[in-house]
Amino acid sequence: MKTTTIVAATVGVLAVATVGYAVYFDSKRQSDPEFKRKLKRDRKRAEKLAKTEAKRLTEESTQDIEDFLASVTEEDFPTSMEEREQFCMAQLSAGEELFVKGPENYSKAAICFYKALKVYPAPAELVMVFQKTIPPEVFTVVMGMLSKDVQSKEEKYYTVFPPKEMNVKVEEKPEGLDVNGQRVVRRGLVATKGFTKGEVIYTETPVISSLEPSLEGKNFCHYCLKEMIKKEVMIPCTSCSVAVFCSEECRTSAGQEFHEILCTKNLKGGSAPAQALREYTKETRNVVPGMLAKFLAKMVHDESLKSGAEYNSFDHLERLVYVEQTLGPDEEKEIELLKLALGSSIPGIDQFITEERYLIMKARILYNIYGVSSGLSASLNVKPLPESHRSVRDRPITGVGLYRATSYLMHSCEPNTKIVYSSRDHTVSLVATENIRSGDELQVGYIKNGKLSTEQRRLELFTKYRLQCSCPLCEMTD
Ligand SMILES: [Zn+2]
Ligand SMILES: [Zn+2]
Ligand SMILES: [Zn+2]
């Protein structure tokens, strides 16, 4: 085999991509979830192949692979697209030069190929090229590294999330057996240090939040849900009369994350793409489609930042618990409105919002959102929202928020923590309502239980959350 085989073969693949490697791939990747999905599919195929290959590895070489992986660090990879392309080509030729020198250089060659694979936009294609051009021994090692890498990204999630400074971690809790006798495990939030009653355990801002629809355009911030009292400044959106902000920062953040796309604008003789969604939200008071529109806009925004964060908001949403939802005329309408609102700004979103994906995203939102009470006045005249959300407060809610760590709090009718909105906006502060030891599971109430009988609580918890509460209160009245 000539030294140039792989480079030649991949140049073919790369050349196709080079037409748009910088332009097409870069812009597509940021703006087109469908394209991202294709990449994901490619990756999946590569992963599958990697898994079958990995099976052929012996215990001994597994250890080698771990050592090889340990020798590759994130700093080894360039960040800009042009540099990545050059890097990829350089690794490919280096790998090739190494393996033709003989088996004693196979592991070094494998590391080069693995590095090339890490930066290559269509890994599956490159795997196919490898399969045809490099010695099987080298190929197996490359696949082994890829497979281990994927596995550790999966496992690593709950080691980097929640961040250490929050003083909590996600832990698996046994939850009895299901109807088929299978062990059920759920994830809960556990304290990593002790807290005394009244202490704040952590504070957290939401992934996304939304005002109760009747408060839009009034003295409530469209971004952080803060109530603005008389002396405080109110900064309106320059293009619409729906969004008002409590600060320039809120206006800027909202604009960048979602409002530029979702602003209804005051258009004469026409309507903005998001207008119909806004009307639907106002009419039905169902905040979920609007939240999802914001969520998707923000997801694309996050991606464009290239912040280097390993997991994005979709990685968070993807892991949340939900109760399956069915497709009805409402959902069909919501999908249509969402596509209309986002379609002209986010190319490819039409294909991304499939019925199946919409239903799961909606279900995850419904299961995990909290009612936010950021208002000052207890007499705020707001009717309860029709859609479900976690809330134990008697004070009226001003909106809802989807949180990362807070989503993992388990329900109890006699919880050991409570959520307060002490900064008067959508920031959650989790406060200990009794002394908590390190290792204790943290719970909150999902529902108002003050006036409910055990029977009513059970019904509500089961309908909304498929929960069978086994707190002392529920057990006692059994
Ligand atoms: Zn604000
Ligand atoms: Zn606006
Ligand atoms: Zn209970």
Going from N- to C-terminal start, the domains of the chain cover 5-151, 164-205+403-476, 208-368
Ligand 1 centroid to residue 428 C-alpha, Å:
14
Biggest CA-to-CA distance, the chain:
80
- How far, in Å, is the centroid of ligand 3 from the Cα of 440? 17
DSSP 240: -
Fold of the CATH domain 164-205+403-476: Beta-clip-like (2.170.270)
Residues 6+ apart with CB under 8 A from 177: 183, 184
- Whole-number Å distance, alpha carbon 446 to ligand 3 midpoint, is 10
Ligand nearest to C-alpha 245: 1
User: What whole-number distance in Å separates Cα of residue 24 and Cα of residue 27?
Assistant: 6
Query: Residue 237 CA: which ligand is closest?
Result: 2
Determine the distance separating the centroid of ligand 1 and the alpha carbon of 235, expressed in angstroms. 9
Decide: 163 and 69 in contact? Cβ < 8 Å: no
Cα of 456 vs centre of ligand 3, distance in Å, is 11
Ligand nearest to the CA of 267: 2
Strand partners, 186: 173
What is the distance in A from the centroid of ligand 2 to the CA of 242? 6
First to last CA, the chain: 76
User: pLDDT tens per residue, the chain (478 residues)?
Assistant: 333 444 444 443 443 333 223 333 344 445 556 656 665 666 666 666 655 655 555 444 667 777 777 777 766 778 776 787 788 888 888 888 888 888 888 888 999 988 888 887 667 677 877 887 888 888 888 888 887 777 777 778 898 999 999 999 999 888 777 777 777 788 999 999 999 999 999 999 999 999 999 999 899 999 999 999 877 789 999 999 889 999 999 999 999 999 999 999 987 777 889 999 999 999 999 999 999 999 999 988 876 665 566 777 888 898 899 998 899 999 999 999 999 999 888 877 887 888 988 999 999 999 999 999 888 766 677 888 888 899 877 678 899 999 999 999 999 999 999 999 999 999 999 999 999 999 999 999 999 877 788 889 989 999 899 888 888 888 875 5
Distance 262 CA to ligand 2 centre (A): 7
* Residue 188 alpha carbon to ligand 3 centre in Å: 16
CB atoms under 10 Å from CB of 467, counted, come to: 20
Among all bound ligands, the one having the nearest atom to the CA of 467 is 3
| Nearest ligand to residue 449 Cα | 3
Helix (H, G, I), strand (E, B) or coil at 130: helix
Ligand with minimal distance to 217 CA: 2
Buried b (16+ CB within 10 A) or exposed e, 298-332: bbbbbbeeeeeeeebbbebbebbebeebeeeeebe
Residue of 152, 155, 156, 72 whose CA lies nearest to 107: 72
